[in-house]
Amino acid sequence: MAQFRAFVVRLPSGECYWTVIDERYQPVPEADDFLLHLRLGRDCAESTTEAYARSLALFLQWCSSTGRGWAAAGAQLGRFMHWLGHYDPKGPEGVVGAEPVRRARRVNQVLAAVREFLKHAAAVGVIDQAALDPLFEVVEDWDLPPEVRGERGPRLRVKPRHRLDEPEREVVAASDEEVLGLVRACRNARDRFIVVGLWRAGLRRGELCGLRREDLHLVPDATRLGCGVTGAHLHVVRRANPNGASAKARRRRAVPADWLLVQAYDAYTLERDAHPAAAVARSDFVVVNLFREPVGVPLRPQALNELFAGLSRRAGLARPVHPHMLRHAMATSVVAAGGTLDELKELLGHAWLTSSEPYLHPSPERLRTAVERVASPRLPSREPGR
């Protein structure tokens, strides 16, 4: 049985994308063509090709283990869904256990990647268009949100046939106490800037690690910098970066910076400027290696996971805090302070309002406060003798 896994490829231009290789380290031609198309033809981020490559490796692994050709496997995606939910690559080879090992959301993500792969194969003539018929069905669009459907009547649309029901997504945000614990656990100004930057600006890992010095306009008036945005702010710009960091959204956005973020950056700048290595001074990236080799190179997004794991242990937190939990904390705080859905959408860089809706769900503390604000009815006092 063939074995498949995701593998990163560096192009001569310096850009990277992920592909799928077999046990002989040979790329799967059809998968490689699709993933390269995502990176170059559709301007997807390196991290997007990584997610798709890992999903396609699972699909090709299932096809190999069951003796199916991938081109005709679309009609059997129901079987693949069951295998995907129970197959553990760390278990005995070819054995599917009774306990589920992947949640519904992960299964749906893999299915989405497989559908896009098969659609691409049909578009370039590798498989027949009829192979896509088992993947989709034509339905009316009554199930779409009103803001997407608008005031028009129902229309027909294509809907995937294979999908698991996902439980309502719970927003797991870091508490203020946890964030303060992380800040106290930092041993240098750079790490404090990373924590405060994720917390107060709501940035993703890739957005923070992809920041350049020219993106930070931490001054009251940036007109002399050629920027018309008022107040201290930073720009999130999508670029091809050597550290694999990338903004998720193609549209650039300006994020306001409060005094906590400005102070954290000032302290980090003093620490960085005092570093003797010339590579640190030359680097245009904001967040760079200062304390380990290679000094001066930009941090990779994955390094933030290691940093936060260490900070969580050092701070003695009851649970590990991940970088994305600080983004959730920022969004939750904006909503609690009265921020509207459109404001939250712009701050977080979401493409759709529906992506920001999970943050509108109030916490138990806010629900209790809302109930306690309701005045209690008072019964009229009874006169004596009655």
Cα 265 to chain centroid, rounded = 24
Do 67 and 216 fall within a single domain?
A: no
Rounded to the nearest integer, the mean pLDDT of the chain is 87
Q: Which CATH number does the domain housing residue 215 bear?
A: 1.10.443.10
d(CA 276, CA 212): 20
Distance between CA atoms of residues 352 and 345, nearest Å: 7
Reply yes or no on whether the pLDDT at 152 is more than 90. no
Q: How many domains does the chain have?
A: 2
Residue 92 maps to a domain = yes
Going by pLDDT thresholds of 50, 70 and 90, the confidence category of residue 318 is: very high
Six token digits for residue 222: 């940036």
Mean pLDDT of 205-223: 93
Full domain range(s) for residue 324 = 176-367
Give phi and psi for 251, each to the nearest 5: -80, 130
State how far the Cα of 74 lies from the Cα of 15, in Å rounded to an integer.
32
Q: Are residues 127 and 184 in the same domain?
A: no
Q: 120 and 206: one domain? A: no
Do 192 and 311 lie in one domain? The reply is: yes
CA separation for the pair 42, 55 (Å, rounded): 18
For residues 187 and 247, membership in a common domain is answered with yes
Residues 203, 295, single domain; the answer is yes
Residue with tokens 């229309």: 155
**How many Cα atoms occupy the beta-carbon half-sphere of 374 within 13 Å?**
6
Residue 157 β-bridge partners: 139
Same domain, 111 and 13: yes
Taking alpha carbons only, the member of 65, 306, 76 closest to residue 191 is 306
Residue closest to 114 by CA, chosen among 88, 132, 101, 129: 132
Do 191 and 121 share a structural domain?
A: no
Q: Can you tell me the distance from the alpha carbon of 348 to that of 249, in angstroms, rounded to the nearest whole number?
A: 10
Question: Three-state SS for 215?
Answer: helix
Place of tokens 């005045």: 375
| pLDDT tens-digit map of 138-149 | 776 656 666 555
pLDDT in tens, 80-117: 999 998 877 776 665 566 678 888 989 999 999 999 99
Hey, which bits of the chain come out as E strands?
Answer: 5-10, 16-21, 136-140, 156-160, 216-217, 233-236, 253-256
- Asked if residue 78 lies in contact with residue 134, where contact means CB atoms within 8 angstroms, the answer is no
120 and 240 part of one domain: no
Q: How far are the Cα atoms of 238, 335, 346, 347 from residue 343, in angstroms, in the given order?
A: 21, 9, 5, 6
